[in-house]
Structure 1
């Protein structure tokens, strides 16, 4: 009997596909950085039992309507806003992701981004490389302290909690806002639950780690940036869609906030002439939150295991729409 067909939309480590190849015929789009063309994705979806996907792949109603054999869509990410989960659930299609495995790695990067922005690390590196360093000066590239400052975490999930844990090592006051209380973060990390407005007004570092939903889309507007301290630094390691980018650009232009550290954007990748790159006080990274060698290999393997479980008729290790298996 012929094995079910699974299409992988980006080149991933070959060893991560071992578990998947036991149960399925696997075809891989042979590019690591170039997304699979939409037309080809639609074509492969028509015959696929499983799709191994990236955040850049739009798995919408149009695609799902043309995928009669599809049983599972598994993202190489903790996020899944690229997938129409409602339609998938209605059709009995499992939607999988890769939570937990990337929490610490993404928290490491988020805190590194916070520190790099606060202490002007990238500016300092460029200063040396461009031959501008002539002598020591008392306030040369003086940034702002991290220790004993107030960090405000918007989205106290797994990654937010891991960032807050790192903040305790810097004796920071930890504020957080979430759709529900995180009692563990309060008791173990000393975090304080506050309203969104209070967090924005009191925090020295505002760290966005909330998921992109209908409620959080365009959460950070010009008015929100106006409510921040003029010395505040904004960090976004979640999704670009939470920020009205034009408003952030305006806030930076008017020096309403002190700087921004960004790993995500509304449209990715951004071009070299993107307005945000004009600012020396913006640290811009290419969406590498979970990009450690160890974590990306484990994420890739987890996606394969998730798909393999579903194709065998078993519940996957990580599933977004659990109702499919009830």
Structure 2
């Protein structure tokens, strides 16, 4: 109990919150590390896109929109009343967790930030050593990134992040500290980005599995996710001590709220799965189309070559005929 109250004082010392409603969840209540992080990410991305457009290069507006929506979704769950309720209500916290780990990463990855960085950063001049672009490339090729972006690492990490956090004392420990809470949120986002990076296949990375493999990777993570949601819904006791009667809005049924949190987890898994499947299907169709075009072009070239060879053959017959005629 004491910890829970301490947690409240950390959070701007406000008393108990009123009932959890959409309007109270959407009041402006900035969490500065996230707000500043999102603004910096927005400015850098914007600068990169503008540099490409000025150069006369293409950069899809859809990607910009996806990036802005991704940053918007992070801001929405970290810089509003939802973040304050996330400190005292399991259901509110779970909304934050789901958006940060499964919606924001997909939107950000659809923005293709790595591709943008590689195109917008100028290569270092000769003799000036490594520039930022060379560092990005070196990082992408590093063993470290190869390991942390490997499905053998990202899938277990994605699953373990759920189970290890809520079914061990870890969650209660982290929630006592403001920095623990911020770290946890950042971790959800990072794990989501790592998990969906090879699956989305928009940005270059060390692992570029084929479409079928990507869909398999997506579906390998989801059942564990759904099962976790069901396990939370069916738990008969409180899983964590952070969310208790002392800090919850008056009249909250804590066990009911925990069931809602499980339901949110269970239901939320469908949303990113649908988005990713649509994105993958579109990419797949595009790549098939590109391949077909390539084959058509190759066939055209081969056809031309055959025609040229045939014409050459006729010409040689013609020459031979003339030689015979001249000789006689």
TM-score strictly above 0.5: no
Structure-2-length-normalised TM-score = 0.25
- RCO (CA 8 Å, sep 6+): is it higher in 1 or 2? 2
Larger radius of gyration: 2
Structure having the larger proportion of residues in strand: 1
Structure-1-length-normalised TM-score = 0.25
